[in-house]
């Protein structure tokens, strides 16, 4: 191989960002989760490639690879020509099966790490909220805990579970913790549907949320932190246990 | 003699409280202008015997952009429709924000309850307070994870059409901008000073013992605001800011 060739394609490939694969996976997860959660509806058209790449902060090459993976998973179809583009298509397989396929894309170590990050966010949020909360701040959290206890379909349960943790971060008066929690819920929300489909566990989570609210209201900041951490750890443990059966 | 000293001592505090009030009054001017334009717009539509739609609200945009450009404290401004007001959508925010590069952009939210856990905005203080009291209101400080992801104050006022509540006109002030505006005023005072809302939540502070977002416990700040007169509590002086629901708190040096 001469020098000229080295300066060509192969050499350029050496100097592309190393985390490209991770970026593709991240985009696949993000859009796949949005479809599972019903944030993107069956038949909905995605924005154009360059616009979508810009919104997600990735190159169009990365985006194209991700769209291809989503097509292979049967979550997108592409139509060419006028009025063409990428469209959300929900396959016939039941939602639970598709979610399990998504969960298979996670290693148990990754799930454990996700749980650690989540527990750090929600535990700290609960502690700060207990220090900084007065009764009116708790109205939204109470409403969300009751909504979870009533939510019928699994996707709605996942969304409302996530909202509780976002509202907890907001009650801590921290914009940074809130932004982190919103980002984390876009990753974990779809997966949580899998463990929340069980009515008994859904009720347990609603109870755990109610006891976090009580500790926050009492200003019991250590207890609030422990309860929030335990709630998150229990959900992660269930996800990992489920992952090991797949 | 002691009383006289105390009375004299409050003079600089009262002037600072008044200046904080007028800083926020300039934001309320943006809210009032939005309210007036929206009210006139809804009246014109009603005179045509039809229901307003999102396309009608586009007429508010030049005014909203102007207010974002003119007042450095205002980072978001608009009209938030009461659910059911518009004919073409169940709920809507005609909301514009200033971007990091001085540009203005619309806020686009997913307000479909089947998709979003955040579709219902009617319980937020900035919406519920003007709706329930018929008066203008200051919400926050609070983490605004619906619109801006910022720690904010939102000033709002009710809009009516044909004698019914139609939504709220509102403006967002990011807390960091509010702090930059009022910190020089607080630091003029001889002792440590901070500002709290009616619930005791610190909105801005030149006192390291009371940081923004924390609660100052003890005094009944709502009662101080209600009376509109200075009060004392455990060595703290409590001075209501004129026209806005904030209390200036000074601690002994």
Residue A176 · residue B149 · CB < 8 Å: no
Distance of residue A159 Cα from the nearest chain B Cα, in angstroms: 6
Let me know if residue B199 belongs to a domain: no
Cα separation, A199 vs A215, in Å, equals: 25
Q: Would you list which residues of chain A are within 8 Å, Cβ to Cβ, of chain B?
A: 37-39, 41, 131-134, 136, 139-140, 143, 159-160, 162-163, 166, 169-170, 173-175, 178-179, 182
Calculate how close chain B gets to A237, using CA atoms only, in Å: 25
Closest CA to A189 of A151, A231, A235, A233: A235
All residues at 6 or more sequence positions from A210 whose CB lies less than 8 Å from its CB, including other chains: A145
Q: Is residue B197 part of a domain?
A: no
Residues of B in contact with A160 (CB under 8 A): 117
Chain B residues close to A143, C-beta within 8 Å: 123
Confidence of residue B5 (pLDDT cuts 50, 70, 90): very low
B75-87 mean pLDDT: 97
Instruction: Please answer yes or no on whether B145 and A178 come within 8 Å at the CB atom.
Output: yes
Kindly state the percentage of chain B with pLDDT values over 70: 96
Helix (H, G, I), strand (E, B) or coil at B244: coil
- pLDDT confidence of residue A20: 65
Could you give the CA distance from residue A28 to residue A20 in angstroms, rounded to a whole number?
Answer: 12
**Residue B105 β-bridge partners:** B97
What average pLDDT does the segment B138-165 reach? 95
Measured between CA atoms, the residue of chain B closest to residue A36 is B115
Residues of A within 8 A of B141 (CB-CB) are: 173
Task: Report d(CA B90, CA B106) in Å as an integer.
Answer: 18
Contact A140 B110 (CB under 8 A): no
Closest chain B residue by Cα to residue A172: B213
Q: What is the pLDDT of residues B13-41, one digit of tens each?
A: 999 999 999 999 999 999 999 999 999 99
Q: Please check the confidence at residue B89 and state whether its pLDDT lies above 50.
A: yes
Residue of A nearest to B216 (CA): A132
Which run of H or E residues covers position A88?
strand A85-88
Q: How confident is the model at residue B96 (pLDDT cuts 50, 70, 90)?
A: very high
Q: Tell me, what's the pLDDT at B6? A: 43
Q: Is residue B63 part of a domain?
A: yes
Contact A38 B110 (CB under 8 A): no
What average pLDDT does the structure give for chain B?
92
Q: Which of A72-76, B52-56, B97-101 has the highest mean pLDDT?
A: B52-56
Measured between CA atoms, the residue of chain B closest to residue A180 is B149
Range of the domain at B123: 22-176
The residue among B183, B209, B167 whose CA lies nearest residue B60 is: B167
- Secondary element (H or E) of residue A184: helix A175-196
pLDDT at A53: 84
User: Nearest-CA residue of chain A relative to B114?
Assistant: A38
* Residue B222, pLDDT score: 95
B72: confidence class by pLDDT, cuts 50, 70, 90: very high
Chain B hits for A41, CB-CB cut-off 8 Å, are 115
Q: How many domains does chain B have?
A: 1
A2 CA to chain B: closest CA distance, Å? 47
Return the pLDDT at A218. 95
Q: Is residue B14 part of a domain?
A: no
Whether residue B118 lies inside any domain: the answer is yes
Of A173, A179, A182, the CB nearest to B213: A173
> Which residues of chain A are under the pLDDT cut of 70?
1-21, 37, 91-94
Domain CATH for B43: 3.30.450.20
Q: φ and ψ at B140, to 5 degrees?
A: 105, -175
Q: Do the domain assignments include residue B48? A: yes
> Between helices A95-103 and A221-245, what is the axis angle to 10°?
100
Q: Would you say residue B43 lies in a domain?
A: yes
Residue from B114, B117, B124, B200 to probe the interface with A (highest A Cβ count within 10 Å): B117
Inter-axis angle of helices A199-217 and A138-150, nearest 10: 170
Residues of chain B contacting residue A185, judged by C-beta atoms under 8 Å apart: none
Q: Residue B10: inside a domain, yes or no?
A: no
pLDDT score at B233: 95
């Amino acid at each position: 191989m001469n020098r000229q060739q080295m300066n060509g394609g192969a050499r350029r490939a050496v100097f592309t960002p190393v985390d490209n694969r991770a970026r593709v996976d991240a985009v696949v997860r993000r859009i796949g989760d949005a479809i599972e959660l019903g944030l993107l509806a069956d038949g909905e058209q995605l924005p154009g490639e360059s616009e979508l790449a810009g919104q997600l902060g990735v190159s169009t090459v990365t985006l194209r690879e991700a769209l291809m993976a989503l097509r292979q998973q049967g979550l997108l179809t592409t139509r060419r020509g006028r009025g063409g583009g990428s469209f959300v298509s929900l396959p016939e397989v039941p939602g639970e099966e598709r979610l399990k396929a998504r969960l298979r894309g996670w290693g148990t170590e990754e799930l454990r790490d996700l749980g650690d990050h989540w527990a750090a966010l929600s535990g700290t949020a609960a502690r700060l909220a207990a220090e900084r909360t007065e009764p009116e701040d708790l109205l939204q959290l109470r409403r969300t805990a009751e909504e979870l206890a009533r939510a019928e379909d699994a996707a709605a349960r996942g969304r409302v579970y996530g909202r509780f943790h976002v509202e907890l971060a907001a009650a801590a008066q921290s914009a940074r913790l809130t932004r982190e929690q919103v980002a984390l819920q876009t990753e974990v929300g779809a997966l949580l549907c899998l463990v929340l489909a069980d009515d008994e566990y859904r009720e347990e989570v609603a109870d755990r949320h109610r006891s976090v609210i009580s500790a926050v209201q009492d200003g019991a900041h250590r207890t609030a932190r422990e309860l929030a951490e335990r709630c998150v750890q229990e959900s992660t443990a269930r996800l990992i246990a489920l992952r090991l059966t797949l | 003699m002691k009383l006289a000293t105390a009375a004299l001592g409050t003079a600089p505090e009262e002037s600072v409280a008044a200046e904080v009030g007028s800083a926020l009054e300039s934001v309320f001017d943006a809210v009032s202008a939005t309210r007036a334009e929206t009210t006139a717009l809804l009246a014109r539509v009603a005179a045509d015997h039809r229901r307003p739609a999102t396309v009608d609200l586009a007429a508010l945009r030049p005014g909203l952009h102007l207010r974002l450009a003119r007042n450095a404290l205002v980072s978001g401004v608009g009209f938030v429709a009461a659910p059911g007001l518009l004919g073409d959508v169940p709920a809507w925010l005609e909301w514009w924000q200033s971007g990091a590069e001085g540009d203005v952009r619309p806020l686009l939210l997913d307000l479909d309850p089947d998709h979003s856990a955040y579709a219902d905005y009617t319980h937020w203080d900035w919406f519920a307070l003007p709706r329930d009291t018929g008066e203008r209101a200051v919400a926050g400080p609070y983490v605004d994870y619906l619109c801006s992801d910022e720690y904010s104050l939102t000033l709002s006022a009710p809009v009516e059409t044909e004698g019914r509540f139609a939504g709220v006109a509102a403006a967002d002030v990011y807390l960091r901008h509010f702090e930059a505006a009022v910190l020089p005023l607080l630091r003029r005072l001889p002792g440590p000073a901070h500002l709290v809302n009616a619930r005791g939540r610190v909105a801005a502070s030149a006192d390291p013992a009371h940081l923004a977002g924390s609660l100052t416990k003890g005094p009944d700040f709502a009662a101080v605001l209600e009376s509109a007169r200075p009060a004392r509590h455990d060595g703290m002086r409590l001075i209501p800011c004129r026209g806005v629901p904030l209390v200036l708190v000074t601690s002994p040096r």
